[in-house]
Chains A and B, each alone.
Chain A
């Protein structure tokens, strides 16, 4: 902990040094959903002049010019926005376009989308400096890790009385085939953090047969779907995939609907809220949680 504070302080110091030597970028293009959210959270929304197709949240961003998919960016298109900086994950590309943008004097800021705390710390640090708000960034980081820590405590308390429920995250776009989130996905990480028992062994998002779904028999289904929300989405899921009604989750009506944009591009600012919701769904009877929720 002390180490982290020290690091943060050094970062703060460095950022002030940096800001003294060169002007802060004023026009931002962000190509990565979670990064965009952090920029907004740090009060930088007015500096955004363009976003990629994964930057769907907050909805107000949809008014901004779109620069397409983060791995198929167009150099000249982005130059029309006269950006000072292009922010994105290290998957951003294609590489020649990044080179061309660099040659055109656009600062390229590639951050890792890995879902863990050291990465997030580094990313927030960096964004804080670039937005000239290092203190706010550190504050966001501290409260973020605090919330995750509280979350972990809650989960361990709940697990003293209840077994971890078997949970499965299903992804479906516009009624297409259901895909199940694998063990290397952000979804699996979230299930773990929220105190669920992730059932899958595969990697990535893969279609899974009805029979396999029955065999897995999840107690909670987390559904990340299209535009529908809440009960509507739940009903649609069950109508389109009647087999889910045969699982424990389907019978007990334990289906949680989450926003699929949460799952893209690393840890975003909305993750703690989503984790809290998930934990609530995993342990509906736990006293601790009800008490905590009122907080």
Chain B
């Protein structure tokens, strides 16, 4: 298969852009560090012992605040974009969003249970609070997705349309659950819930990073192995079957990748919209619909875009910061409208 655009230069460009954005994400922040100090601190963090200036503060900011945050941003952006590609392939619809299979709704419900339930039980120890929240959000997403998938199954086959409708219904039910907990919440927990729903990379730490990193690496390695199958799926399910693909298995894998990926991302950073929808869409315009190029391109662009949004989120109102979900929606929604209008003319 030969693509219309030459994919390699495009992927290379995206990779270089990501490197640049990663550099910005490490070098910029509310605290302005001199370039020399940043570099020295970076080298020291890499284990090189360089004598000279006192870079303790820079090392701390770089190593304990910006680096975990940047890694979190890369992982969340990449896995959301990849899941978006997987869902748009599964539903053969360029407007599909990873949330369609209920994973976001379920995760939100899990988080609401953790935040509000935890506070009603008299509060949790601050040390375990984030872990409980992540675990609840992750399992909430997984459980609801499993139920949605179950509804889509009949006679050993998965009906994607039924799954879509089940996803809508269960997301609405999860929304009602969140509403109930919102009602039960006191003022402070209510605001925590609201903030969680807007997402943030704030408070990234290595301890909470690794589950997401493992899932992201897993999804990023697994989905490209299914690139050919995803291409065939776009022709239609029976066409893909006639081309020799075990599509029931592929569908299960796609749903599983999305549930794990989005679940882990949401558990680590809250609900962040539009990346999963806009990035695959945009990349399809740039590199074409061939998943062998689209998947790596979306991974790179998703990571880059999320880091960029996070930079805005933490710089705009410094020393306070904006929830990143606001930034991605504010950039994503108008951009999406632009694509719609352009596509129409």
Q: Which A residues form the contact surface with B (CB < 8 A)?
A: 50, 53, 65-69, 71-81, 91, 93-100, 103-104, 184, 203-206
The reply to whether A76 and B186 contact each other, CB–CB distance below 8 Å, is no
- Given the known interface contacts A69-B191, A76-B29, A80-B30, the answer about A95 and B203 at a Cβ–Cβ threshold of 8 Å is yes
A-B contact pairs, 5 of them (CB 8 A): A71-B188, A74-B320, A94-B202, A96-B203, A100-B65
Distance between Cα atoms of A65 and B61 in the complex (Å): 20
The reply to whether B203 and A77 contact each other, CB–CB distance below 8 Å, is no
Distance between Cα atoms of A76 and B58 in the complex (Å): 11
Distance between Cα atoms of A68 and B321 in the complex (Å): 7
The reply to whether B319 and A96 contact each other, CB–CB distance below 8 Å, is no
Q: Which of B130, B183, B187, B323 has the most CB of A within 10 A?
A: B187
Closest-by-CB residue of A relative to B196 is A72
Task: Determine the chain B residues whose CB is within 8 A of the CB of A204 once the complex forms.
Answer: 185-187
Q: Which of B38-89 contact A (CB under 8 A)?
A: 57, 60-61, 64-66
Per-position binary interface string of chain B over residues 321-339, scored 1 when its CB falls under 8 Å from any chain A CB and 0 otherwise: 1010000000000000000
Per-position binary interface string of chain B over residues 86-121, scored 1 when its CB falls under 8 Å from any chain A CB and 0 otherwise: 000000000000000000000000000000000000
The reply to whether B130 and A96 contact each other, CB–CB distance below 8 Å, is yes
B204 sits at the interface (CB 8 A): yes
Distance between Cα atoms of A99 and B60 in the complex (Å): 12
New A-B pairs, 10, CB < 8 Å, besides A72-B192, A99-B205: A66-B320, A74-B202, A75-B202, A76-B65, A79-B30, A93-B203, A94-B202, A95-B130, A97-B203, A204-B186
The reply to whether A71 and B318 contact each other, CB–CB distance below 8 Å, is no
Task: Determine the chain A residues whose CB is within 8 A of the CB of B186 once the complex forms.
Answer: 184, 203-205
Q: Which of A69, A76, A91, A104 has the most CB of B within 10 A?
A: A76
- Given the known interface contacts A72-B200, A96-B203, the answer about A80 and B319 at a Cβ–Cβ threshold of 8 Å is yes
The reply to whether B202 and A72 contact each other, CB–CB distance below 8 Å, is yes
Task: Determine the chain A residues whose CB is within 8 A of the CB of B185 once the complex forms.
Answer: 204
Closest-by-CB residue of A relative to B188 is A91
Distance between Cα atoms of A69 and B61 in the complex (Å): 21
Task: Determine the chain B residues whose CB is within 8 A of the CB of A73 once the complex forms.
Answer: 202
The reply to whether A103 and B64 contact each other, CB–CB distance below 8 Å, is yes
The reply to whether B188 and A74 contact each other, CB–CB distance below 8 Å, is no
The reply to whether A81 and B319 contact each other, CB–CB distance below 8 Å, is yes
Per-position binary interface string of chain B over residues 261-289, scored 1 when its CB falls under 8 Å from any chain A CB and 0 otherwise: 00000000000000000000000000000
Distance between Cα atoms of A84 and B202 in the complex (Å): 21
- Given the known interface contacts A74-B202, A76-B66, A93-B126, the answer about A67 and B320 at a Cβ–Cβ threshold of 8 Å is yes
The reply to whether B323 and A72 contact each other, CB–CB distance below 8 Å, is yes
Task: Determine the chain B residues whose CB is within 8 A of the CB of A75 once the complex forms.
Answer: 65, 202-203
- Given the known interface contacts A74-B202, A76-B31, A204-B186, the answer about A66 and B319 at a Cβ–Cβ threshold of 8 Å is yes
Please provide the 6 A-B residue pairs with the shortest distance between their CB atoms, ordered closest to farther.
A68-B320, A77-B319, A96-B203, A204-B186, A74-B321, A94-B203
**Which of these, B183, B192, B320, contacts A77 with CB under 8 Å?**
B320
**Which of these, A74, A104, A184, contacts B314 with CB under 8 Å?**
A74
Distance between Cα atoms of A207 and B126 in the complex (Å): 30
Task: Determine the chain A residues whose CB is within 8 A of the CB of B204 once the complex forms.
Answer: 96
Distance between Cα atoms of A69 and B64 in the complex (Å): 22
The reply to whether B318 and A77 contact each other, CB–CB distance below 8 Å, is yes
B3 sits at the interface (CB 8 A): no
B195 sits at the interface (CB 8 A): yes
Residues of B in contact, count (CB < 8 Å): 35
B292 sits at the interface (CB 8 A): no
Closest-by-CB residue of B relative to A68 is B320
CB distance from A63 to the nearest CB of B (A): 14
Distance between Cα atoms of A75 and B127 in the complex (Å): 17
Closest-by-CB residue of A relative to B63 is A103
CB distance from A265 to the nearest CB of B (A): 10
Distance between Cα atoms of A104 and B60 in the complex (Å): 7
The reply to whether A96 and B208 contact each other, CB–CB distance below 8 Å, is yes
Q: Which of A69, A72, A98 has the most CB of B within 10 A?
A: A72
Q: Which of A66, A67, A103, A204 has the most CB of B within 10 A?
A: A204
The reply to whether A78 and B319 contact each other, CB–CB distance below 8 Å, is yes
Task: Determine the chain B residues whose CB is within 8 A of the CB of A78 once the complex forms.
Answer: 319
B317 sits at the interface (CB 8 A): yes
Distance between Cα atoms of A71 and B64 in the complex (Å): 20
The reply to whether B126 and A95 contact each other, CB–CB distance below 8 Å, is yes
Distance between Cα atoms of A66 and B321 in the complex (Å): 9
CB distance from A109 to the nearest CB of B (A): 15
CB distance from A155 to the nearest CB of B (A): 27
The reply to whether B195 and A72 contact each other, CB–CB distance below 8 Å, is yes
Task: Determine the chain A residues whose CB is within 8 A of the CB of B66 once the complex forms.
Answer: 76
B246 sits at the interface (CB 8 A): no
Task: Determine the chain B residues whose CB is within 8 A of the CB of A97 once the complex forms.
Answer: 202-203
Closest-by-CB residue of A relative to B205 is A96
B129 sits at the interface (CB 8 A): yes
CB distance from A284 to the nearest CB of B (A): 31
Task: Determine the chain A residues whose CB is within 8 A of the CB of B317 once the complex forms.
Answer: 66, 68
CB distance from A112 to the nearest CB of B (A): 12
CB distance from B71 to the nearest CB of A (A): 14
Q: Which of B186, B195, B318 has the most CB of A within 10 A?
A: B318
Task: Determine the chain A residues whose CB is within 8 A of the CB of B195 once the complex forms.
Answer: 69, 71-72
Task: Determine the chain A residues whose CB is within 8 A of the CB of B321 once the complex forms.
Answer: 68, 72, 74, 77
The reply to whether A80 and B318 contact each other, CB–CB distance below 8 Å, is yes
CB distance from A164 to the nearest CB of B (A): 26
Q: Which of B156-204 contact A (CB under 8 A)?
A: 183, 185-188, 191-192, 195, 200, 202-204
The reply to whether A103 and B60 contact each other, CB–CB distance below 8 Å, is yes
